[in-house]
Amino acid sequence: MAKVNELYGKANRYLKRNGIEKTAYAVADTALSKPPKNFKYQLATTEELKAQRAWSSRFSFSNKFTLVVPAFETDIPYFDEMIASVLGQTYNNWELIVVDGSASTKLRDEIEIMTGVVNGERPAGKALSAEEIATVHGSSADLDLTYNYDGCVLRYIHLTRNGGISANSNKGVEFATGDYVAVLDHDDMLTPDALYYMSKALVANEYKAKLVYSDEDKTDAKSKSFFEPNRKPNFNLDMFLTNNYICHLTFVERNLIQELKFRSEYDGAQDYDLFLRAVKSMEDPKGQTLHVPRILYHWRAHSNSTAGNTDAKEYAYEAGRRAVDDFCKSMGWAVTVSHTAHLGFYHIEYKNLLFSTRPNIGMLCGPIFRFGKIHGGAMKEDGTVIYRGLAKGMGGYMHRGSLVQEVEAADVRNMRINPVLENLYDEMVESKLAKNAPDYTEISLAFCKKVRELGYIVLYDPEHKQE
């Protein structure tokens, strides 16, 4: 009965926000947006984990990770699993900083139980060498303990006052010594190979990235089931402005995150706000934002979490809207940012002409429908129609078919051109469309390729209608 009441309340709030028609579409779209139910998270084999440890022993000197955990009255079973997921990493150059805003120090006791380290030393039979034994020291008025665990560092800071998610996270960021810093939610888990794959990607990237993120999935309250894999695209600014698809697991270069810090006025969407400002600071966002296409993070779904109940933190979605609005204003764009029918997704309306506001956009494109389903529109550079077969008004997997996004190519039959490219359009498109039976795909791909070579982007808006 409680579940029924919860669903009824959620539907009622949705109806009040969006009206009957949009609610009907949104309910259908939400059903379609879910990943396949036959997903099964595949843990690395023993041989693979062994090979990862061997690789780490050779390369771990080159990069250190800091994981900051802002904790508050955390359920002990969740906290234990989070700690265990860090202690079990195959990559062995990390530090874990738990910043505890709870009234008690029960989480410190759990760390000592989990690690076998008590007040800086392990009990008899588990002794560390003199170099490995951590020191115990104080820092300001907060209780600050540091433990050494098999060469990696665990730091526990018990705050005298709970300052909220951003302030508490900033305390941990302040003490970070790793090359890259991430926030790990106090009830979530890393996969055993999370830091290994992050480090391997950074080595291949030659550490050019200032922000690196992975795919993720969700796990239930008992960690028995893993579901809803979120396979993310590479960095796409316009898609990111509609939704924080980057989310977990995300590391930011230490100097950058210590400079920017989390902002308390965006609590609930403080990570989204930070990532947006990080992107704003980059000279080359595409080149300095790295995607690791592997599930490395398990987002806990329970009744009080955002993962398990999107209505649990509606204030967070409003904070996200304000973060997008702040980014746009910092870019000098006059816009109105609003919520869409789906919580956590946003729509940007430009008050002035799009091409004058953002002159780097070469064209604005939309879908081509046939019998109520997408037949053309956004394409990959090989001509594959990205959202082919998606019903009109639907967004599909993770709602991505309903999001404004940069694409490699788009169909010229639903396209608005930046005025500076009109002569090129006449030369490469208009003249060829006049011929009998033109090959729309070939014409579209050639034109979009040339436009991108000139430094412009191709923007796809699923709401853009054929003229």
pLDDT at position 34 = 58
Residue 14's pLDDT is 52
Q: Provide mean pLDDT across the span 249-261.
A: 98
| Letter string b/e over residues 338-372, b meaning 16 or more CB atoms within 10 A of that residue's CB | ebbbbbbbbbbeeeeebbebbeebbbbbbbbbeee
What is the Cα–Cα distance from 157 to 18, expressed in whole angstroms?
44
More confident residue, 299 or 121: 299
| pLDDT value of position 168 | 97
Percent of the chain, pLDDT > 90? 72
- Mean pLDDT over residues 192-202, rounded? 97
pLDDT for 302 beyond 80: no
Q: How would you label 221-249 residue by residue, b for 16+ Cβ within 10 Å and e otherwise?
A: beeeebbbbbebeebbebbbbbbbbbbbb
pLDDT at 134: 35
pLDDT score of 7: 47
In whole angstroms, what is the distance from residue 198 CA to residue 211 CA? 11
Question: In angstroms, how far apart are the furthest CA atoms of the chain?
Answer: 87
Determine the pLDDT at residue 187.
95
| Token output for 365 | 């494109």
List CB contacts of 159: < 8 A, sequence separation 6 or more.
99, 100, 101, 142, 168, 171
CATH tag for 46-318 (out of 3.90.550.10, 3.40.50.970, 2.130.10.10, 3.40.50.12780): 3.90.550.10
CA dihedral 436, 439, 443, 445 (to 10 degrees): 180
Whether residue 235 contacts residue 245, with contact meaning beta carbons closer than 8 Å, is answered with no
Least confident of 81-90, 128-137, 194-203, 458-467: 128-137
CATH 3.90.550.10 positions along the chain are 46-318
Q: What is the pLDDT of the chain when averaged over all its residues?
A: 87
Nearest-10 crossing angle of helices 165-175, 270-281: 50
pLDDT band at 6 (very low <50, low <70, confident <90, very high): very low
The whole-number pLDDT of residue 143 equals: 72
Which candidate, 268, 403, 265, 405, places its Cα nearest to that of 340? 403
Question: Is residue 39 very low, low, confident or very high in pLDDT (cuts 50, 70, 90)?
Answer: confident
Which residues, other chains included, contact 459 with Cβ-Cβ below 8 Å and sequence gap of 6+? 238, 361, 363, 364, 365, 404, 405, 406, 407
Identify the weakest region by mean pLDDT among 30-34, 56-60, 140-144, 248-252. 30-34
Residue 407 reports pLDDT greater than 90:
yes
Please give the single-letter amino acid code of residue 252.
Answer: V
pTM of the model: 0.88
**How distant is the alpha carbon of residue 333 from its chain centre?**
24
What are the two backbone dihedrals, phi and then psi, of residue 337, each rounded to the nearest 5 degrees?
-105, 130
Question: How confident is the model over 243-272, as a mean pLDDT?
Answer: 97
Confidence of residue 113 (pLDDT cuts 50, 70, 90): confident
The pLDDT of residue 219 is above 60: yes
| The two three-digit tokens of residue 125, written as one number | 């039979």
Which pLDDT value is given to residue 285?
Answer: 97
Asked whether the predicted pLDDT for residue 44 surpasses 90, the reply is: no
